[in-house]
Structure 1
Amino acid sequence: MLTAGTVEVDPSRVAAQIVSGIGFLGAGLIITRQGAVHGLTTAAAIWECAAIGMAAAAGLVKLAIIVTILHFVIILAFNPLSRHLTGRLAGSVRLRVTYDSASGVLSRILAACDKHQWSLSVLGSAPDRGVLLTLGGSGIRNAPNTIACVAGVTGVRRLDDSRD
């Protein structure tokens, strides 16, 4: 109840509005593109920033500082480790491969993939005498160089250089 000259502040209502707004922004960042989800890390970072800001505003400055330091430790330590492990263990890569019109080039490309035990999940045609490949498996980072060495291949371009 309000009396003349006083204002009641309800921190839980403020926090609820922040949660609603950040949820809306985070959902807008998360997109799906050809079966792959992108933006989860960015959405999580926005949630984390909101939580740090709310903790600082609530007077929990030490907690906000500790969480901020932990964030940077995790990002700086685990991000390179994750990239290293993903490249060595398993992953996927999307490639646009162009080749001469000579017969048998596509079968040699597929044989090279089979030799390295890469799984082919998508095979599509490109308008410039080429194919779109989505490959998965271990050691997939070497796929562009390996396919570029196949006789008759004129170009290989990686389509998904960004990871999230």
Structure 2
Amino acid sequence: MIEPGQGPLQLGELALAFILSALIGLEREIRQKSAGVRTYALVGVSAALFMLVSKHGFDDVLASSRVVLDPSRVAAQIVSGIGFIGGGVIFMRRDVVRGLTTAASVWLTAAIGMACGAGLLLLALVTVAGHFIIMLGFPPLVRRLRRSRRSSHDILLDYQDGRGLLRDILVTATSLRFAIEQVRLSGEDHGEDEAETRPSARGIIGLRLRVRGKRPVSHLVARLAAIEGVVTVSSGDDSEID
């Protein structure tokens, strides 16, 4: 005898959770992200199954009218438990955090599976549509906004002379995808007054860089400060770093 809660309706909810989560996973697979179609399908179907178990798995216990269970407790545990999977795809590469979008989309897939398991099919469908709007429609918009907000920054450096550090400084800036618009010694073209405002010592060269890029200039300042032989680095918006 088939227990209640295992009929065509529940099977349909599981099937919808599988289809929707697999669609999200397919989009991430095409983009070659760290989590692909298998991961997303498993997350979505599992979340839906947890919700169905929460809704129908304890009917025999509740029949006695002496035990009261809160089915929302299972949903809360899914929300917190999915964080372990999301945390596994977040990592650091070249001082930049990567995988946040993938982790968020895994979390979203779990929510979609929960909605399917709870019978909120319309909400699940609308959420999937919102996912594709965010993933496919937002990147071009963000790129346009970034291009419009790209501005130049002046970076002032003091570094030890005779160690070939200028090449390292320029390579570091370009490796972080900053375009170098101007390079000049401190005080050049501005008379001796400006040169006197920069720290001066024998064997120390003051350098002014004007750069333009998409990333925060603080990333570049931190990387330049880590170069051996660079004494101080500062930008127009940052305090001096030794």
TM-score, normalization by structure 2: 0.37
The higher relative CO (CA closer than 8 Å, separation ≥ 6) is in: 1
Q: Which of 9, 14, 22 pairs up with 2:74?
A: 14
| One-letter amino acid matched to 2:133 | V
Q: Distance in 2 between matches of 1:51 and 1:35?
A: 31
**More strand per residue:** 1
Unaligned residue ranges in structure 1 (runs of 5+):
92-102, 126-164
SS of the aligned residue for 2:60 comes to coil
Alpha-carbon distance between aligned partners in 1 of 2:103 and 2:61, rounded to the nearest angstrom? 34
CA distance in 1, matches of 2:76, 2:124: 19
- Aligned with residue 114 of structure 2, among 54, 62, 69: 54
Q: What are the residue-to-residue correspondences of 1:7-156 with 2, within 5 Å? A: 7-8=61-62, 10-90=70-150, 106=167, 109=170, 112-114=180-182, 116-118=210-212, 120-121=220-221, 122-123=223-224
3-state SS of paired residue (1:114):
strand
How far apart are the structure 1 equivalents of 2:94 and 2:168?
A: 25
Greater fraction of residues in helix: 2
The 1:45/1:113 distance shift into structure 2, 3 A limit, reads same
Instruction: Report the Cα offset of residue 35 of structure 1.
Output: 3.5
SS state at 1:48 partner: helix
What is the CA deviation profile of residues 110-150 of structure 1, one whole-angstrom value per residue up to 9, with x for unaligned ones? Answer: 8x45355345422477xxxxxxxxxxxxxxxxxxxxxxxxx
CA 1:113 to 1:7, structure 2 compared with 1: closer, same or farther past 3 Å? Answer: farther
Deviations 1:8-27 (A, max 9, x none): 57532321331232111112
How many pairs align?
110
| Runs of 5+ consecutive residues of structure 2 not aligned to the other structure | 1-58, 63-68, 152-163, 174-179, 184-209, 228-242
Identical pairs, percent? 46
TM-score (normalised: structure 1): 0.52
